[in-house]
Amino acid sequence: MASKLERYRYEPTDTTLTLTSDKVLHVQFGHATSDLHENTTESKWTKQKFDEIKSKYPDDYILVLLDMRNIGDAEFNSKESNDLYREMLQDEYTKKVAIVGISSGWELLLKFFLKFADNKMMSFKYEEEARAWLVTD
């Protein structure tokens, strides 16, 4: 099992980012928010932590596991949040993105992001499948 290298927590929504030695950045969203300001603030925080990880490990890449099981369909993304996530997705530092726990309400947004993903993003029903895909070349 991979060891933890970094762990960050965004308290208002209880979202955590955990980077492990196998280069997986597990983004576990805490709870949903329909407040666009809060959503944008959380997205900016996520981008800030992403940039911190990039600067701390500049010669590496990351494999992102987005765990959306706790937010359901109640979350609303602002345009600015979508732009920030698209920027992180398109970054060369992000090698692959696996999404677990996506609900039907998020499928449309996923289709939007897939346009920019260059086949480096997939959705999975189970976390184990997502992790296996991430670490396979």
pLDDT for residue 96 is more than 90: yes
Q: Which domains does the chain have, with CATH numbers?
A: 4-134 (3.30.750.24)
For a pLDDT cut of 70, what percent of the chain falls above it? Answer: 83
d(CA 68, CA 37): 19
71: which 2 tokens? Answer: 């937010």
**Bridge partners of 6?**
19
Q: What three-state secondary structure class fits 97?
A: strand
Spatial CA neighbour of 29 closest among 48, 9, 47, 49: 9
Mean pLDDT estimate for the chain: 86
pLDDT for residue 110 is more than 80: no
pLDDT for residue 105 is more than 60: no
Reported pTM: 0.86
pLDDT for residue 1 is more than 80: no
d(CA 21, CA 5): 6
